[in-house]
Structure 1
Amino acid sequence: MPLKIYRLPLFLLVVLLPFSAAANFDFNANCVKAYQSIFELKLGTAKALIAAEKKARPQNSIVPLLENYVDYFYLLTNESKAEFERLEANKSSRLDQISKDDKNSPYYLYAQAEINLQWALVRGRYGAYFAASREINRANGLLKDNQKKFPNFHLNTKGLGLINVVIGALPDGFMKSALSTFGVKGDIQTGISQLDKLAEELPKSTYEPFYEEVIFYYAYILSDVAKSPQAYPKIMKYTSRIADSSLLKTYMQAYACARNGKNEQAIEILESRPKGNAYQPFAYLDYLLGVARLNKLDVKAAANFNQFLQVNKGNNYIKDTYLHLAWISLLKDDTADYKAFLNKVKSNGATYVEKDKQALNEANAPTPHLVLLKARLLYDGGYLTRALEVLSASKADDFKTVKDKAEYAYRLGRVCDDLGKDDVALAHYQTAFNTGKGLKYYYAAKSAVLMGNIYEKKKNLVQAKAYFNLAIGLKDHEYENSIENEAKQGLKRIGG
């Protein structure tokens, strides 16, 4: 049984927590309950508690901070740009109220930083990078000032750690350039160390109620930004303390499992997730369950993807959902439906997130070879032995196009790599690199990074550096920014 967060009695919690620097930053029992409800994704409950607090104590400047948390998680779960545009006007009035309050409270600068950072993180999802960079710069400055004034206020580290990692991982481009102009620089390892230390220390401190928020950001960083090999064990370890009634816990654990080849566990977590009208609708979880089920070649995953399309009110993951439905048709040998779903990929949804951009690319590409599609899905689910069996039943000459030959070698390399067969993996990656380096597909560049990783593990830093540089040298291919960033992080690790 997972260890549950111990909920102190609220009256005792308020006495113990470092909240009451001034009456107008009053994190009282009602506010604590609202905050806890937000992080269980019970946003309706949180709104009711916040409304009661606002009526009873209209000058309490914790209220606008909590209201911003509600908007933030509503937008993250809703994925709607229209809702983002409707709600972003709330930012200025909330900052106005807080800025008129007690400057001697540790929450004075902290709350302003949090609001700026939350809007930056949402804004960046829709390509508004300059505005997001200004908000990150503002949040960074506020948190650093607050750290000087209140060095024992642990919550400063949460935002500073997040900023360090996000900025450190940004590819060269407009947003990184804008932040550099503002003087904001980041370092992935520093940020990870800050958040890792906070995750360990918070449960032993009076800041324990903020634990779930810290783990939410830390999970995002480990999985999506740093792509850490420790993402799965760390996320499962830290989330085990969180109550099972938290839908956010479901998301963090299922996502970590799905991203790290623990497919059966992801399915189990998603199918047993808490449900009910108290929870914020979270259509992405239906999409994630569909992805996990299809990764084991279960064509009944179509029901989960269709559920996502029915419930979803936002713009994201629609193209990728139709692409997965197209793949299901391909697995069922239904060519007509396959083409119909590809047309829906092209005509529905947006391309704000990488998954949808790639889905559109794939909809315009040649039909995937069935062997390669099956191997790809099985690999993503962590079914390495099954994936190897599928690939081993074919040979390179069975594939007619250069693209398919490159992908075949790449898929073999990935499976052998994860099975610990380093030298066999290197041979396949080298074939994928040689075959695919003139193509727009990502197989060659990603193979170069993965070869660099293997040589780094073997302590052959000369070869590791050479392959990381080869990856950086390849241009105009899929996932160029993220692959180049992986290679640059590799060079940084080995001092290259």
Structure 2
Amino acid sequence: MKFKSILFVIVFVGCRLTASANYNFDARCMDAYKAVFDFRLNDARAIIQQEKQQYPQNGITILLDNYVDYISLITSDNKNEYDLLKDKKSDRIDALKGNEENSPYYLYAQAEVYLQWGLIKAKFGDYTSSASDFKKARNLLNDNTEKYPDFLPAQKDLALINVVFGAMPSNLKTFAKFLGMGGNVQAGVAQLEKLRTQISATKYSYYKDEVIFYLCYMDIDVLHNKNNYNRLMGYIAGMDNKDLLRTYLQGYVAAKTGHNEEAIANLQDVPHSAKYTPLPTLDYLLGCAKLCRMDSDAYVYLLKYIDEYKGVNYIKDSYLKVAYCYFFRNDEAKYNYYLKLARTKGYTTDEKDKQALKEANDNRPDYDLLKARFYCDGGYYDKALAQLKGKQEGELKLLRDKIELNYRLGRIYEKMNKFNDAIAWYQKAINIGKTSTYYYAANAALSIGGIYEYIKDDYMAANYYKQALDMRNHEYQSSIDTQAKDGLERMHR
């Protein structure tokens, strides 16, 4: 699980508001919000300005302004822009305090601003200030819920805070507990599921798309459920938004659940127009999906991502994947050129980039193992298995490759629901790799724990989750540890 992924999920969509004294979500505000939600930020700004000119006391415009900045920051990951915009939070809180107090939106609107900036600050690594904003948001939401228990929007935000604090890495959870903040991922997701069924038949039904969006991301990136493609796509089909967001979400869910053909089709179908705020992540996802299918133009989209993206994440990972595109084409010169860029460009803030740097500095990959890895990631399990047919551990010189061969076969068989075979291969990876710095053995233990949890053998599941935790100093340490701890917690309830 990736904490940053979770942050991305929650900052991706913010608040929708409705009518109240001095909080009048009129038709123009609805148009502005839809423009924000469609990533037409320039259109949104123009509409908000029109509303301010006609109704300067409408507090909704304050929130819409905040939302524009919010979406702008998460689509750009631009640190300079963040530094310029973050001081606006206090002014907006003060302005909201000047509106009608006898409204469920009075405390809620302030909480939304704190929540949004808490998430943005965490995204940019300002964890101390972020935690303070989260605490203020939760306190305001709790007060609001006490006054207005039937006000469903507050339940959405409380669920999100529950997920955020439940998904934090251990070192951040310790700091959060010091501030009196805690969370539970399972409980937060359950709250969102309940809200999804409740909200459609209420006056707050316009929150439906947001709740579905969160649930898709939480299911995949937090709970790591990779077998719920049909259920999630059913949710998405019911979304009101028929434009960029829905098409993107269909592509994302397909890519993350091993439905690579559908992912490519959806990501290629995303509308492109100058009216939309650029979303380089679309090119990154499409490039990755095309690499999994071994398309010859995969590198085009990865390089486009590098060229247009203004943040710090996935630069090294993208350069490494471009290098692999040329590796598979036996273009030694370009492979080495982009391998060097993976070493020297970008940052190591994200675990994927840390892993990319390690791979770029490591020994040359084994052709069959690398190809099988991408086939497996794309859901092409038969092709992945065929790529490794007849490959023996004894023919591999590097310990890294010996561990990965066993791990990769375990991974493929698990995806094919052949659990006995998966456990056997995973166990071999653990036996020879448990003291290595590669992630294969630890993730194999985590995966076996997941299999036993799925078949309701809690004792064995707990045993393997503990084994995963006992392995130290390996890649993806924080992510694997967090998932293993969450698994143990579930087994001991």
Q: Give your verdict on TM over 0.5.
A: yes
Show the counterpart of 1:208. Answer: 205
CA contact (8 A) 2:343 2:357 kept: yes
Show the counterpart of 1:279. Answer: 276
Corresponding residue pairs, total:
478
Residue 230 of structure 1 deviates from its aligned partner by: 5.5
Which of 32, 35, 46 in structure 2 is aligned with 1:37? 35
Which of 56, 59, 69 in structure 2 is aligned with 1:58? 56
Which of 130, 138, 141 in structure 2 is aligned with 1:143? 141
Residue 354 of structure 1 deviates from its aligned partner by: 2.6
Show the counterpart of 2:6. Answer: none
Q: CA RMSD in A?
A: 1.7
Which of 96, 99, 105 in structure 2 is aligned with 1:98? 96
- The code of the aligned residue for 1:20 comes to A
Take 2:174 and 2:220, find their aligned partners in 1: how far apart are those partners?
Answer: 25
Take 2:93 and 2:225, find their aligned partners in 1: how far apart are those partners?
Answer: 35
The more displaced of 283-292 and 230-239 is 230-239
Output one character per residue of 1:438-480: Cα deviation in whole Å (capped at 9) or x when no partner.
1111111111111112222333322221111111111111111
Change (3 A) 1:274 1:438: same
Which of 458, 462, 466 in structure 2 is aligned with 1:465? 462
Output one character per residue of 1:161-196: Cα deviation in whole Å (capped at 9) or x when no partner.
1111121122210x2122212211111121111111
Take 1:390 and 1:230, find their aligned partners in 2: how far apart are those partners?
Answer: 24
Which of 121, 130, 148 in structure 1 is aligned with 2:119? 121
Take 2:313 and 2:400, find their aligned partners in 1: how far apart are those partners?
Answer: 28
Residue 313 of structure 1 deviates from its aligned partner by: 2.8
Show the counterpart of 2:18. Answer: 19
* TM-score between the two structures when normalised by the length of structure 2: 0.93
Identity %: 41
**Residues 88-487 of structure 1: pairs in structure 2 closer than 5 A:** 88-173=86-171, 175-229=172-226, 232-243=229-240, 245-487=242-484
Take 1:162 and 1:228, find their aligned partners in 2: how far apart are those partners?
Answer: 18
Take 2:351 and 2:17, find their aligned partners in 1: how far apart are those partners?
Answer: 40
Residue 495 of structure 1 deviates from its aligned partner by: 1.7
CA contact (8 A) 1:134 1:179 kept: no
- The code of the aligned residue for 1:207 comes to Y
- The code of the aligned residue for 2:19 comes to S
CA contact (8 A) 2:209 2:240 kept: no
Take 2:360 and 2:426, find their aligned partners in 1: how far apart are those partners?
Answer: 26
Gap regions ≥5 residues in structure 1: 1-16
Take 1:459 and 1:230, find their aligned partners in 2: how far apart are those partners?
Answer: 17
- The code of the aligned residue for 1:21 comes to S
Q: Secondary structure at the match of 1:307?
A: helix
Output one character per residue of 1:335-376: Cα deviation in whole Å (capped at 9) or x when no partner.
222221122112222233332222222222222111111011
- The code of the aligned residue for 1:331 comes to F
Take 1:314 and 1:134, find their aligned partners in 2: how far apart are those partners?
Answer: 25
Residue 416 of structure 1 deviates from its aligned partner by: 0.6
CA contact (8 A) 1:39 1:212 kept: no
- The code of the aligned residue for 1:107 comes to Y
- The code of the aligned residue for 2:157 comes to G
Output one character per residue of 1:261-290: Cα deviation in whole Å (capped at 9) or x when no partner.
010001000111112122111111011100
Residue 143 of structure 1 deviates from its aligned partner by: 1.1
Take 1:360 and 1:85, find their aligned partners in 2: how far apart are those partners?
Answer: 28
Change (3 A) 1:117 1:220: farther
- The code of the aligned residue for 1:241 comes to G
CA contact (8 A) 1:137 1:179 kept: no
CA contact (8 A) 1:231 1:256 kept: no
- The code of the aligned residue for 2:213 comes to F
Q: Secondary structure at the match of 1:116?
A: helix
Gap regions ≥5 residues in structure 2: 1-15
Q: Secondary structure at the match of 1:471?
A: helix
The more displaced of 340-349 and 323-332 is 340-349
Output one character per residue of 1:421-448: Cα deviation in whole Å (capped at 9) or x when no partner.
1111111001100111111111111111
Residue 244 of structure 1 deviates from its aligned partner by: 5.8
- The code of the aligned residue for 1:138 comes to K
- The code of the aligned residue for 2:326 comes to S
- The code of the aligned residue for 1:246 comes to D
**Residues 74-85 of structure 1: pairs in structure 2 closer than 5 A:** 74-85=72-83
Take 1:450 and 1:337, find their aligned partners in 2: how far apart are those partners?
Answer: 36
Residue 493 of structure 1 deviates from its aligned partner by: 2.0
CA contact (8 A) 2:227 2:257 kept: no
Take 1:490 and 1:268, find their aligned partners in 2: how far apart are those partners?
Answer: 34
Show the counterpart of 2:11. Answer: none
* TM-score between the two structures when normalised by the length of structure 1: 0.93
- The code of the aligned residue for 1:398 comes to E
